[in-house]
Amino acid sequence: MAKATEARTYDEALNWLRDNGFDVTEAPGTNGRVFLRKYNVSAAIERTPDGGVKIFAYPGYLIGSEISKLINRGYQQFLKTSKTEIPATADHLKAIQNFSEELKVALGLPSLYNESLGTVSESYHYDRIKDRDKPAVERPRRPWETAGRKVVAKKARA
């Protein structure tokens, strides 16, 4: 059975975040937008015209001073910024998960079952579906398709 959540106002959300250990920093040059930080994860929220609150920048692990984007490549998740891309560790993913769940409570957003099971990436890039939209004869051979085939080396004639 679905559990109803009550959306919070911008001011209520800020008070909850400060009371629960989030670092709240005003975004320079803007009014009604703040950066949040906890567990070395950051996000940004802003005030809506009706006094509510919405997420402006989704949670990401901080690398340097930049919020990273979580990318799933099928075999590994990565943290990507404009300058670098590093493999995400279990500690990174746990920090993002904890931050995201607490942010949902702060904003009065529903906690969805599939998101509560683990960290959800913003972008998925699976190598097994790449080029699948091309006709079969134009697709490159995958390593698992050629595995086990005997490779015959040709001898050069002198």
Is 62 inside any structural domain?
yes
Is 158 inside any structural domain?
no
Most confident region among 5-14, 113-122, 149-158 by mean pLDDT: 5-14
Is 3 inside any structural domain?
no
Label residue 150 by pLDDT band (50, 70, 90).
low
- The number of distinct structural domains making up the chain is 1
pLDDT tens per residue, range 48-66: 888 888 888 888 999 988 8
Q: Tell me which DSSP letter residue 10 carries.
A: H
Is 2 inside any structural domain?
no
Domain residues for the domain of 123 are 10-141
Is 157 inside any structural domain?
no
Q: Are 85 and 78 in contact (CB under 8 A)?
A: yes
Q: Which two tokens stand for residue 115?
A: 């998101």
Percentage of residues in the chain having pLDDT higher than 90: 18
Span 16-36, mean pLDDT? 87
DSSP reduced 3-state for 73 = coil
For residue 108, which of 7, 3, 2 has the smallest C-alpha distance?
7
Is 155 inside any structural domain?
no
Q: Are 62 and 39 in contact (CB under 8 A)?
A: no
Give the count of beta carbons closer than 10 Å to the beta carbon of residue 32. 15
Is 109 inside any structural domain?
yes
pTM score, whole prediction: 0.67
pLDDT tens per residue, range 62-77: 998 888 988 887 778 8
Q: Which residues contact 17 (CB under 8 A, 6 or more apart)?
A: 24, 36, 106
Percentage of residues in the chain having pLDDT higher than 70: 75
pLDDT tens per residue, range 83-102: 999 999 999 999 998 888 88
Is 18 inside any structural domain?
yes
Most confident region among 33-42, 63-72, 140-149 by mean pLDDT: 33-42
